[in-house]
Amino acid sequence: MPLVIKNDECPVYAYINSLRAVSSKSTALRVLHSIAQKLGQSNYYSINWARFDRNTLNSLVALLKDKGLSYETIGLYLSITKSVLREAFLLGQINSLHWERVKSVKPPMLGKKKLHATLSQSDFAHLLNTIEALALTNTKKIRDQAIFHLLIGCGLRRFELAKLKLSAIDLTGNKITFDGKGGKERTVAIHPITMKALKEWMVIRGYKEGAVFTRVYKSGELHKSVSTNNIDEIPHFSSESIYLLCKTYGLVSAGITPHSLRRSYATWLSRNGANIQHISKLMGHSSIKTTEIYIKTEQREIDKTVLDKLFV
């Protein structure tokens, strides 16, 4: 993706500059880059936003639907596109009629409610075995297993994991404290099983400050800057790379994305009797209603409720 170019007459710059959270900026740029690719453009600066009309937007929505993107994802793409076009309107690059026509574009009708995929605990054990079999080096195996342990064992969003620094981890108190979505600080306890996998990685990585996860070369060596004293040179593991790991180990083909692991975290806690208010805090949600969406309930569990709870 191209760097954000400071240009007060550019609607992309105006929109990105209006966002406060780093995570929001990153998400918006990732979506805009994807939109540009789907429109056959080299990047989002190649898009002629002043000529991006209602027909173009409807065509984009139809394309996203044909590619099988979820209702929520299409809604996100639509919202970000409209936000850029709103800045184009405020900059006087499109007129009020153009803007009103663009605003009228709606996402596709929500059909049958999508059941978000989650991993069972046996599925997770199978994933760890898959990493054991497919990882090219022992270093990569231990790093990748630790990454998935933290995703599913701490409910982290992939950008939270990618940006996680050693200073955020209390290795003696077994918890992490970091800024999540919207810059909200949250603290999550680390289960001993998760901590064991993390410490195995730390033995290889070392305890110098900086990003917890970084690149591993095909030789098994870590990125050279990990061994320096310059914190700023230690590279973060990218969000895109975390998605690619899911793809490498066969999760994506089974409908499992990094966010599915976060849903699995909430679901496991709920099935084991955790208080939903506690789960909501751990997830960094502002509303319990959001947490309820994340928790997957199997039909057999609903049926069992009738059998166990109706006549008691």
The token pair that represents 180 in the structure block: 């999540």
* Cα–Cα dist 81/12, whole Å: 10
pLDDT digits (tens, 9 = 90+) for 249-299: 999 888 898 999 999 999 999 988 899 999 999 999 988 988 988 887 766
Dihedral of the alpha carbons of 123, 127, 129, 135, in degrees to the nearest 10: 170
Q: If you average pLDDT over every residue of the chain, what do you get?
A: 86
pLDDT digits 0-9 by tens, 231-242: 444 567 788 889
Query: Which of 38, 39, 40, 41 has its CA nearest to residue 2?
Result: 41
List the one residue out of 133, 159, 15, 142 whose CA is nearest residue 82: 15
**Spatial distance between the Cα atoms of 253 and 177, rounded to a whole number of angstroms:** 33
**d(C-alpha 155, C-alpha 184), whole Å:** 15
Query: How are strands ordered across the β-sheet holding 175-179?
Result: 169-170, 175-179, 185-189
Q: Per-residue confidence at 230, pLDDT binned at 50, 70, 90?
A: very low
Cβ atoms 297, 282 nearer than 8 A = no
Domain ranges of the chain: 11-103, 121-302
Q: Which residues contact 168 (CB under 8 A, 6 or more apart)?
A: 176, 177, 178, 212
Of the pLDDT bands very low, low, confident and very high (cuts 50, 70, 90), residue 228 is very low
Q: What is the pTM of this model?
A: 0.68
Q: How far apart are CA 209 and CA 223, in angstroms?
A: 14
Rounded to whole angstroms, how far apart are CA atoms 165 and 144? 17
Q: Which tens digit of pLDDT belongs to each residue from 178-207?
A: 988 877 889 999 999 999 999 999 999 988
Q: Encoding tokens for residue 83?
A: 């936000």
Determine whether 251 is exposed, middle or buried from the number of CB atoms within 10 Å of its CB (0-12, 13-18, 19+).
buried
Q: Which residue has the higher pLDDT, 156 or 114?
A: 156
Q: Which two tokens stand for residue 187?
A: 């603290």
**Domain 121-302 top-level CATH class:** mainly alpha
227: pLDDT strictly greater than 50: no
Q: Which of 145, 157, 159 is nearest to 193 (CA)?
A: 145
Residue-wise pLDDT for 127-155, tens only, equals: 999 999 999 899 999 999 999 999 999 99
What lies within 8 Å, CB to CB, of 19 at 6+ separation is: 25, 28
* For residue 113, pLDDT beyond 60: no
The span from the CA of 175 to the CA of 287, in Å, is 23
Calpha distance 214→228 (Å, rounded): 13
Structure confidence by residue, pLDDT tens digits, 49-60: 999 999 999 999
Burial class of residue 115 (count of CB atoms within 10 Å of its CB; 0-12, 13-18, 19+): exposed
**Reported confidence tier of residue 303, pLDDT bands at 50, 70, 90:** low
User: Residue 114's pLDDT is what?
Assistant: 54
